[in-house]
């Protein structure tokens, strides 16, 4: 039986980051990275499966909730931003060390904007700006209620709007767009050149305690000859499948945890004329009851050197916990100890449930209307007579 000092399950950004840190604090360790797909960073970390905002709370309004007295709580925004600065320091160091030769291969500058309409939302954004603008991490945050200024920042948001509509935006020019898929691939390639053994197309099917730590059962997707490896430390970085794997490990800490069958769906536009006119990540305000992941945003994405515009995410329903998962993932995760917490979450968050049901059954026209609320006149900017529902999904 092969022995490793640490086994990292999953080839996404979490295992890639932890593996890189381990290599530097314990350079002599033998590490195994197990990934069930043929490629690295192909699930949530893939650039097309997330927004690449690299959460820094510069534009995401859910990090600055309004308190009952009307003031704005900034604690979450500050702590999220601090964490992102630590990530940036870590990435800068990796570039200095030559681990990542070209930072532009995974991170690019992209202004972060928040954009709202309606008197109440404008008041909220103004108060948020006042609360953040003097904090050292947010110095440089700009605010405007002037459509001409906002049009300079992001023209697609303004063209076609009624005169006199109450609008406001903030902008932080030093925001970023991050390709976590590319970063995962580069870090895991780097690890594979030294201390790590990467098992691709190999699924971890079980984790069992042994005298010296853990026995990790592997099933290669080609050949199907099972194998067991041993290690004192296992990191479960299996994304959506972490829940099921941790349940099967028998650890008691997983009791009470469950997964909700919610996914995110994007509208994607690769038309270079549109992308040229939109050079920012623009976040709006979530509908009442909407989960933070479904805050609507119109984003510039730079993937493999090409620019696109992404809008979403729309909440969807799926019992799969991974894009390449099984239709039975949700049902396989239900245990007596998480059934009551799951039902309690649903019962205690009626507005969330109502929002999700409404989204899942929303017509294509209603979904596109959410996009046109951000981008009211799609045909004018790109100079064509295409109907407004021609964005590709």
Ligand X SMILES: Cc1cc2nc3c(=O)[nH]c(=O)nc-3n(C[C@H](O)[C@H](O)[C@H](O)COP(=O)(O)OP(=O)(O)OC[C@H]3O[C@@H](n4cnc5c(N)ncnc54)[C@H](O)[C@@H]3O)c2cc1C
Residues that bind ligand X (CB under 6 A): 9-15, 34-37, 42-45, 50-55, 180, 203-204, 237-239, 241, 245, 264, 293, 313, 322
* b/e map 131-155, b = 16+ CB within 10 Å: bbeeeebbeebebbeebeebeebbe
Contact yes or no for 102/35 (Cβ under 8 A): no
Q: How far is the CB of 4 from ligand X (least distance, A)?
A: 15
Secondary structure E strands in 166-285: 167-172, 176-178, 196-199, 202-210, 213-220, 227-231, 234-236, 262-269, 281-283
Contact yes or no for 64/73 (Cβ under 8 A): yes
Smaller CB separation from ligand X, 290 or 382: 290
Comparing C-alpha atoms, which of 392, 366, 178 is closest to residue 274? Answer: 392
Smaller CB separation from ligand X, 186 or 203: 203
Q: Any idea what the Cα angle at residue 175 is, between residues 170 and 178, rounded to 5°?
A: 135
Tally of CB atoms within 10 A around 347: 9
Q: What is d(CA 177, CA 78) in angstroms, rounded to the nearest whole number?
A: 19
Q: How far is the CB of 330 from ligand X (least distance, A)?
A: 15
Tally of CB atoms within 10 A around 54: 22
CA 290 to chain centre: 16
Q: How far is the CB of 235 from ligand X (least distance, A)?
A: 10
Helix (H) or strand (E) holding 300: strand 297-303
Q: How far is the CB of 150 from ligand X (least distance, A)?
A: 22
Q: Which residue is nearest to ligand X (CB)?
A: 12
Counting Cβ atoms within 10 Å, is residue 293 exposed (0-12), middle (13-18) or buried (19+)?
middle
Smaller CB separation from ligand X, 32 or 381: 32
Q: How far is the CB of 2 from ligand X (least distance, A)?
A: 16
Q: How far is the CB of 348 from ligand X (least distance, A)?
A: 23
Contact yes or no for 157/169 (Cβ under 8 A): yes
Smaller CB separation from ligand X, 324 or 363: 324
Q: How far is the CB of 83 from ligand X (least distance, A)?
A: 10
Q: How far is the CB of 197 from ligand X (least distance, A)?
A: 14
Comparing C-alpha atoms, which of 388, 392, 364 is closest to residue 156? Answer: 388
Q: At what angle do helices 350-360 and 336-348 cross, to 10 degrees?
A: 90
Comparing C-alpha atoms, which of 135, 196, 248, 268 is closest to residue 5? Answer: 196
Smaller CB separation from ligand X, 237 or 378: 237
Smaller CB separation from ligand X, 113 or 381: 113
- DSSP helix/strand/coil, 329: helix
Q: How far is the CB of 146 from ligand X (least distance, A)?
A: 28
Smaller CB separation from ligand X, 43 or 158: 43
CA dihedral (24, 28, 29, 35) in degrees, to 10, reads 70
Smaller CB separation from ligand X, 35 or 307: 35
Smaller CB separation from ligand X, 74 or 234: 234
**Which residues on adjacent β-strands are paired with residue 210?**
213
Smaller CB separation from ligand X, 35 or 338: 35
Q: How far is the CB of 325 from ligand X (least distance, A)?
A: 8
DSSP 8-state symbol, 266: E
């Amino acid at each position: 039986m092969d022995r490793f000092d640490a086994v990292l399950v999953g080839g996404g950004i979490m295992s890639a980051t932890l593996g890189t840190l381990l290599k530097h604090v314990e350079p002599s360790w033998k590490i195994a990275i197990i990934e069930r797909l043929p490629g690295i960073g192909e699930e949530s970390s893939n650039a097309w499966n997330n927004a690449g905002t690299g959460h820094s709370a510069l534009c995401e309004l859910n990090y600055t909730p309004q308190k009952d007295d009307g003031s704005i709580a900034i604690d979450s925004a500050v702590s999220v931003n601090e964490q992102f600065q630590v990530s940036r320091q870590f990435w800068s160091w990796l570039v200095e060390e030559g681990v990542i030769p070209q930072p532009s291969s995974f991170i690019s500058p992209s202004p972060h904007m928040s954009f709202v309409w309606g008197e109440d939302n404008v008041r909220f954004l103004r108060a948020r700006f006042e609360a953040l603008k003097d904090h050292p991490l947010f110095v440089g945050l700009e605010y405007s209620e002037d459509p001409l200024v906002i049009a300079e920042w992001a023209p697609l948001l303004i063209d076609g709007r009624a005169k006199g509509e109450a609008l406001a935006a903030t902008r932080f020019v030093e925001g970023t767009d991050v390709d976590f898929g590319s970063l995962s691939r580069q870090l895991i390639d780097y690890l594979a050149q030294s201390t790590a053994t990467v098992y691709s197309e190999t699924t971890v099917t079980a984790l069992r305690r042994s005298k010296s730590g853990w026995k990790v059962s592997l099933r290669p997707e080609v050949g199907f000859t099972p194998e067991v490896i041993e290690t004192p430390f296992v990191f479960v970085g299996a994304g959506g499948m972490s829940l099921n794997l941790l349940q099967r490990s028998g650890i008691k800490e997983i009791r009470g945890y469950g997964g909700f069958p919610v996914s995110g769906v994007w509208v994607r536009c690769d038309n270079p004329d549109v992308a040229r006119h939109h050079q920012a990540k623009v976040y709006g305000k979530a509908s009442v009851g909407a989960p933070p992941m479904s805050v609507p945003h119109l984003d510039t994405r730079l993937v493999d050197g090409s620019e696109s515009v992404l809008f979403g995410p729309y909440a969807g329903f799926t019992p799969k916990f991974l894009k390449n998962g099984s239709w039975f993932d949700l049902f396989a995760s239900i245990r007596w100890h998480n059934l009551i917490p799951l039902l309690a979450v649903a019962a205690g968050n009626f507005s969330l449930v109502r929002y999700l049901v409404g989204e899942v059954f929303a017509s294509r026209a209603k979904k596109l209307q959410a996009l046109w609320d951000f981008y009211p006149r799609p045909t004018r900017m790109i100079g064509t007579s295409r109907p407004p529902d021609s964005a590709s999904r």
